[in-house]
A and B are shown apart, each in its own frame.
Chain A
Amino acid sequence: MKSTPNREPSERLEQLLSSCSLGDQAAFGELYEATSAKLFGVALRILKRRAWAEEALQEAYVKIWRHAGSYDASRGRPMTWMINVVRNQSLDLLRKADYRAPEDEWNPEKDQRLSTENPEAQAETSQEMQRVLGCLGRLGEEQRSSILLSYHQGLTPTEVATRLKRPVGTVKTWIRRGLIKVRECLDQ
């Protein structure tokens, strides 16, 4: 049961991507209409600042337009592909020295949903998400936090280490081993 609100049927998105690869700008407009709010949310969650998130979003959609032909429907859902295009674009921006919100400029209390890292707090989620969260829930709290801080906020292991007051080597090991445990759990 996939009940995420606003989830576009994958088949429609695949058709739109296919039309985009043929240069169909109307299809691109429809694709943007259907997906941009979600992708903007993903960029905002990582980059925090609207201007940067707008920049990442724009670059991501140029990539989506340009590489629509290389999207392979047999390999995964279109939304998975697009979310990762925007994630990578956002992480690339974040890694540039001048694109990093100072810690005090970002107040997680302002936006409860953006700051939600607690698996129990998730409301409407798909089975897939519940499975991943379930597997993450089997990890220790700090190990789970390390992975989620990386994934949602693009924090480097060094930044996670600072925040959790732990050695960076420990954090790197937590993340690496934690992810392998998540895979083993998902594969069960």
Chain B
Amino acid sequence: MRYDDPKLQEALASVYVAGALQGPARRRFEALMHTRPALRRRVEAWEDRLTPLSEDTPAVRPPARVWRALRQRIAPDHQAPTQSAGFWNSLAFWRPFGAVAACVALLMIAYAGFNVLQPGPAPQIAGSQPQQAAPSYVAVLEDGSNQPVMVVTAFKGPWRLTLEPLRELSPDTGKVFQVWAVERGSGITRPLLQVSGSEVLRLPLDDDGWNAIKTSESLTVTVEEAGTTPTTPSGPPIFSGLCLNLKGPTET
């Protein structure tokens, strides 16, 4: 795949924004956008070019039930976005990492000052998010009907992981979504992290975490009891996706 070819990127970005990219190609493109800041910038430039076409679209007042439903969904007891500082410091966030918390805390310090690895000739635009640059691994997890649910990306230098839900994730009360790495060949599952909300998670990876990612065939998600740290899945996966190495064999 020549997704780093600027001409191809430009063509795909234009067709995507124009609404003409179809089916699986559209989903693949969106997944790629999560991992390639240069591609995302091209898309944003095309949005700037074409969105004026929407200006003449007549405004139509939506019925009140839309707002009522929205209010329900954004209510504080319903996973309102948490301010990042509070979130990072919350017990709920750190609990899944109990055993590695000390290591994680050390890596956090390194995390604050990591360098940007920008592949290819594309210039880094000031103000863009450096943590989105140069991922090494990406997995797009889909549900049983092949709809993408979340994107997990792993970066090196230092090792870190981002989990971005693509839709609302709300496990039943008392449950969490456990993300697993499934090892190539052996099929052994290793717990990676737990998710219970719909915020974007960014966290450093320790040796074990990085190893689990780079030896994994795929990532899967099961529903587990909240407050536990299971070592094997208690049920079948509800989401799964191949874990792709974006850098080729040198990375493994």
Q: Which residues of A contact B (CB under 8 A)?
A: 4, 6, 21-23, 25, 28-29, 32, 36-38, 40-42, 44-46, 53-54, 57-59, 61-62, 65-66, 68-70, 72, 74-76, 79-81, 83-84, 87, 91, 95, 113-114, 116, 122-126, 128-129, 131-133, 147-148, 150-152, 154-158, 160, 172, 175-176, 179-180, 182-183, 186
Contacts and interface: CB of A to CB of B under 8 A. Distances in A.
B77 to A, nearest CB: 12
B1 to A, nearest CB: 18
Interface of B: 10-11, 14-15, 17-20, 22-23, 26, 44, 46-63, 65-67, 69-71, 73-76, 80-84, 127, 167-168, 198-200
A95 B62 contact: no
User: Does more than half of chain B's interface fall in helix, strand or loop, or is it mixed?
Assistant: helix
Contact of B52 (A59, A69, A132, A183): A132
A115 to B, nearest CB: 11
A182 B60 contact: no
User: Does more than half of chain A's interface fall in helix, strand or loop, or is it mixed?
Assistant: helix
A180 B42 CA distance: 13
A37 B14 contact: no
A182 B49 contact: yes
Contacts, number: 157
15 contacts: A29-B67, A36-B66, A58-B66, A66-B81, A69-B81, A80-B47, A83-B51, A84-B47, A87-B19, A114-B58, A125-B52, A125-B55, A132-B50, A176-B11, A179-B18
B14 A183 contact: yes
Contact of B56 (A6, A122, A172): A122
